[in-house]
Amino acid sequence: MFSKILSATTVVLAATQMVSAQTSTACDPTKKTCPDDPALGTSVSIDFTKGKNDLFTDAAGTTLKYDGNGAVFTINKATDAPTITSNKYIFFGKVELVVQAAPGAGIVTSFVLQSDDLDEIDWEWIGSDKAQVQSNYFGKGDTTTFDRGAYHAVANPQDNYDTYTIDWTKDYVRWIINGNQVRELKYADAKSGTRFPQTPMQIKLGTWCAGGPDSPEGTAQWAGGRTDFSQAPFVAHYKTLTITDYSNGVKNAEKYSWSSGSDGSYGSINVITGDGSSSSGSSSSATSSAKSSATSGASSATKSSETKSTLSTATVSATASGSATSGSGSSASSTATSSGNNASASASSSGSASAANTSAPVATTNGALKTGFSVSALAAGLMVVFML
């Protein structure tokens, strides 16, 4: 199994073949004034077997079909990267997805939460890996370390429909498969909270090719090898999605507004409600610690601050060659699904949330912690990204 033999050396090699930071944002509120984020502010259940849902916007070049198995994400060529992004944000919350991953070496299926300042939480599947799924996270676009990823056992995710959940609060992130928790990240474990994902996020779903002819060798190896397009199409089915916005404990949220000079800590985010009132979660002591160092870490870790992320990555072939048509490549979707594997070497998509240079690896259950790479990062050199 490729995941068993991918060594640290290979990861480093992959890194040398990638451009720096693949993740990007249309507007980083820690660096300038940006529009408020529209809040979901409630719970919704989406059944993609009934067709397109207005909560999601298709990335440029994305054309989806819907059938009894849900939203059909299809890869026919290396530049395909169908992706959809929610047009509203959650500020902590629980997201539960029922999905059947796409098969095929080099094909990546992604489920990502991502914020305007590049906090990120991911699930991602490699088409040729029939025994496990990867989890990852980032904070402030920090990819200075690649020890955030982990693997978790799941049988034949390309043949079965399984339920993958992200439960995200100001205190922890939990990754859950079919009702069983397989990993937990606590606030303090993410470099004393400074790399803990904690700002309003969009939900991004997408599928892309990391094993195309123009993909760096390290990236293709991470993704299970070169893609054999004679076996196309490669199809992922996203069946149902349940989203609960915790709104940082505030009811009737309509918008999330970043305070001027925000350092990317959750206490600097104001929840605007329907009656026009505003409240924030800055009362927690954990917030102050994040505030003290979040900004400095963010600036140093993301010198390419406005670089894109996980799902936000589209295949490079489309951009590099300039042949990207309105779909797959260039727009390949601001989320161009790489879900989080952005890390060059470790392929960590958007930020090294947690465990900065020397912090201890995050404990996992039923999953061996690896050098932690994320689809986006690995896909870096081959993808073109854009934010919706």
Q: Which residues neighbour 325 within 8 Å (Cβ) at sequence distance 6 or greater? A: 61, 79, 318
Q: Is the pLDDT confidence value at 131 over 70?
A: yes
* Percent of all residues in the chain with a pLDDT value above 90, rounded to a whole number: 62
Please tell me the predicted confidence (pLDDT) of residue 274: 84
What does the mean pLDDT of the chain come to? Answer: 76
Q: What are phi and psi of 12, to 5 degrees?
A: -65, -40
Cβ–Cβ < 8 Å for 255, 105 = no
**Between the CA of residue 69 and those of 54, 131, 249, 306, what are the distances in Å?**
19, 22, 35, 36
Please tell me the predicted confidence (pLDDT) of residue 184: 98
As a whole number of angstroms, the distance between CA 168 and CA 367 comes to 19
Please tell me the predicted confidence (pLDDT) of residue 312: 41
Q: How far is CA 144 from the centre of its chain?
A: 17
| Region 135-157 average pLDDT | 93
Please tell me the predicted confidence (pLDDT) of residue 277: 79
Please tell me the predicted confidence (pLDDT) of residue 388: 39
Please tell me the predicted confidence (pLDDT) of residue 344: 33
Question: In this predicted model, what pLDDT tens digit does every residue of 98-114 receive, in sequence order?
Answer: 999 999 999 999 999 99
Residue 261 φ/ψ region, left for φ over 0, alpha for ψ in the -120 to 50 degree band, beta for the rest: left
Q: Which residues neighbour 50 within 8 Å (Cβ) at sequence distance 6 or greater? A: 66
Residue 51: pLDDT band (50, 70, 90) is very high
Residue 52's Cβ-count burial label (10 Å; 0-12, 13-18, 19+) is: middle
* Percent of all residues in the chain with a pLDDT value above 70, rounded to a whole number: 66
Cβ–Cβ < 8 Å for 242, 110 = no
Which CATH code of 2.60.120.200, 3.50.50.60, 3.30.1380.10, 1.10.150.20 fits the domain covering 2-382? 2.60.120.200
Cβ–Cβ < 8 Å for 284, 278 = no
At 108, list the tokens: 């990546």
Q: Which residues neighbour 285 within 8 Å (Cβ) at sequence distance 6 or greater? A: none
Sign of the Cα pseudo-torsion (19, 139, 304, 258, in order): positive
Q: Is the pLDDT confidence value at 11 over 80?
A: no
Count CA atoms closer than 13 A to 86's CA, side-chain side: 24
As a whole number of angstroms, the distance between CA 280 and CA 267 comes to 6
Residue 143: pLDDT band (50, 70, 90) is confident
Whose tokens are 């963010």? That residue is 298
At 155, list the tokens: 């049988």
Cβ–Cβ < 8 Å for 269, 257 = yes
| Region 170-187 average pLDDT | 98
Q: Is the pLDDT confidence value at 66 over 60?
A: yes
Q: Is the pLDDT confidence value at 192 over 60?
A: yes
Comparison of pLDDT for 69 and 25, the residue scoring more: 69
Closest CA to 342 of 154, 148, 187: 148
| Region 105-132 average pLDDT | 97
Q: Which residues neighbour 104 within 8 Å (Cβ) at sequence distance 6 or greater? A: 75, 127, 128, 211, 227, 228, 231, 232, 234
Please tell me the predicted confidence (pLDDT) of residue 264: 96
Can you give the pTM of this predicted structure?
Answer: 0.74
Active site residues: 120, 124
As a whole number of angstroms, the distance between CA 246 and CA 197 comes to 14
Question: In this predicted model, what pLDDT tens digit does every residue of 262-280 receive, in sequence order?
Answer: 999 999 999 999 887 777 6
Please tell me the predicted confidence (pLDDT) of residue 23: 57
DSSP 62: -
Please tell me the predicted confidence (pLDDT) of residue 157: 98
| Region 67-81 average pLDDT | 97
Q: Is the pLDDT confidence value at 324 over 80?
A: no
Please tell me the predicted confidence (pLDDT) of residue 278: 78
| Region 77-98 average pLDDT | 97
Within the chain, where are the H helices?
A: 2-5, 8-16, 217-222, 285-301, 316-320, 375-379
Q: Is the pLDDT confidence value at 248 over 50?
A: yes
Please tell me the predicted confidence (pLDDT) of residue 179: 98
Q: Is the pLDDT confidence value at 168 over 70?
A: yes
Q: Which residues neighbour 205 within 8 Å (Cβ) at sequence distance 6 or greater? A: 56, 71, 73, 83, 84, 97, 110, 111, 112, 238, 241, 311, 335, 337
Q: Is the pLDDT confidence value at 246 over 70?
A: yes
Mean pLDDT comparison of 62-66, 304-308, 309-313, highest-scoring range: 62-66
